[in-house]
Amino acid sequence: MKKMSALLVFLLLLGLLAGCGGNAGTSGQEPAGVTPTGQTSGASETGGSGRTDLNLSTTTVLTSVDPHFSEKIADMYAFRQTYEGLYFQDELTGKFEPRIAESYTVSEDGLTYSFTLRQGVKFHNGDELKASDIIFSFKRAADNPSVSARVAQVAEVKEIDPKTVDIVLKSPQAAFMTDLCGVYILSEKVVTEQGKEFGTKAALCGTGPYYWDKVDHAVGWTLQAFPDYYRGEAAIKTINFKPISDVSAGLVAFESGDLDWYIAPVANWDDLVNSGKYNTEVVAANHISVIVVNPDANEALKNPLVRKAIGHAMDKEAMNLVGFNGLAFTTDYMVDPEKNTGADFDLGVIYDFDLEKAKTLLVEAGYPNGVDVGAIMSWTGGYYEKMAQVLYDTLNSIGIKCELKMIEQASVSPNLRSQQYDIATYGWSYYGDYSYMYTRWHSSQEGAVYVKFTDKQFDGKRLDELLELGGREKDAAKRIQLYKEYNDMFMDAAVCFPCLNKVQTYVWEKNLNAVNAPNFPLIYDWSWK
């Protein structure tokens, strides 16, 4: 019955694609000098050699076309193809590569970054990029919680001349270039013309190798190669995305040829590898899977001893085996030091799996006969659900009563950000530096944080201060010490427990030259044989 259910889901999605034609929310225009292809979002060319289209899936619907509004994984898959910043940071090497800017200098005091703009960069509507578009984009990013942390220390962005833009910081920032790479530059003209509709439909407002062609957030979205891209037109001409939330249905779609590249379910990994039909690769992601605990949810969770008992009841090895067939990596680090600067310090506070210790903490907390802590929130159909099931079993085995609360995937993040949960399984991707913790946990990030350190049991002021000082400190050793102090305080608060660094189990067609990444592929680098 499980296989039949997955198939029905897949057939339903195909039916929706056929019925809707993928035309909802189109931009109503083509980039300057581009002849419409007439290819629908669901169409693909047959065969292997000579193909120029690519069919991909995501596990959720598209949230927005606006890269300042969302950093959700499904959205970022498309954003990485359509938008660019002044620079780009390679996920594999950590190196910075010029994009809209071709070079930069930094003042002696570390406050002013002067960027020389690349000439001939065009937006997808044919307009040439101007310095005013960069100023507009930074101001706009500052007003959007999803990305505002990246520009929190920017005091001013100003045009020096048509080829030069200066970004002046409030204080020196060690990770500023990393932050900068995530600030996508938009066409002020296009965004202003669309007004409140921007983000809801296709928009020719980026400078990346692909432009938005057709957008139906719930059914599918199509990107087309931009002929006037300054680094040359991409080999893959058309990218079709469609959301398939059920991983089994996604695998059916891949094996039937409707998808060309897929992050396979780990339960099927050995079979896919041994079949010899596909290219396969396991890539360690720059990602953390966690258990988040809301100290304001109820009286039991307000008690730090109860929260620490939950921390010691996490069987990470079981979570890895059940969720990833043992392919992932258990971790005590909130930020993986192998892939992120500023995180290479010795851990002072960790939560080893120790049920006896957890029981002792419950007694010390005043609950010798157990306690009800509410619900573990997650969504159905992935490893987060399996992590939640393992935690549910171990908690109930020691008298910490709870229930499983499965909700739709799109609702998990809003619930976390509004603190509408008791316990949750969740995770996120990092971008190369420990300073990313600022975006999730600094009190200034209203609308983005998952726990508010406002209770008397937390020194929220010091936690904020350490993140700020660590972000400004350019001496690597001193910076690590600041982040170590923060990490020890954060872990002692027992509100978020690191569990796993996941892996990406990539599988793709034999004739496709795919270049895989820890988190987000760049289709510009791909081609068909």
| DSSP-derived secondary structure for 395-454 | HHHTTEEEEEEEE-HHHHHHHHHTT--SEEEEEEE--SBGGGHHHHH-TT-TTT-SS-TT
Query: Distance (Å, rounded) from C-alpha 440 to C-alpha 447?
Result: 10
pLDDT (tens digit per residue) in 4-44: 344 333 333 433 333 333 333 444 456 654 433 333 333 34
Helix (H) or strand (E) holding 363: helix 355-364
Angle at 228 between CA 231 and CA 226, to 5 degrees: 90
The pLDDT of residue 94 is 81
425 is written with which tokens? 């399984």
User: What percentage of the chain has pLDDT greater than the value 90?
Assistant: 75
The pLDDT of residue 30 is 61
The whole-model pTM stands at 0.76
The pLDDT of residue 527 is 97
Helix (H) or strand (E) holding 501: strand 496-501
pLDDT (tens digit per residue) in 62-80: 999 999 998 888 899 999 9
Lowest-confidence region among 187-196, 240-249, 312-321: 240-249
Q: What integer best gives the mean pLDDT of the chain?
A: 90
Angle at 132 between CA 233 and CA 225, to 5 degrees: 15
The pLDDT of residue 63 is 93
The pLDDT of residue 345 is 96
Query: Distance (Å, rounded) from C-alpha 152 to C-alpha 170?
Result: 9
The pLDDT of residue 3 is 36
Confidence of residue 214 (pLDDT cuts 50, 70, 90): very high
Confidence of residue 125 (pLDDT cuts 50, 70, 90): very high
The pLDDT of residue 258 is 97
DSSP class of residue 218 equals T
241 is written with which tokens? 């995305």
292 bridge partner residues: 424, 496
**Which domains are assigned to the chain?**
2-80+206-263+505-528 (3.40.190.10), 87-185 (3.90.76.10), 287-501 (3.10.105.10)
The pLDDT of residue 174 is 86
pLDDT (tens digit per residue) in 261-308: 999 998 899 999 999 999 999 999 989 999 999 999 999 999 999 999
Helix (H) or strand (E) holding 117: strand 112-117
Q: Is the pLDDT of residue 511 over 70?
A: yes
Q: Is the pLDDT of residue 339 over 90?
A: no
Lowest-confidence region among 164-168, 222-226, 246-250: 246-250
120 is written with which tokens? 């001939």
Q: What is the rounded average pLDDT of the residues 406-420? A: 90
The values of phi and psi at residue 201, to 5°, are: -145, 170
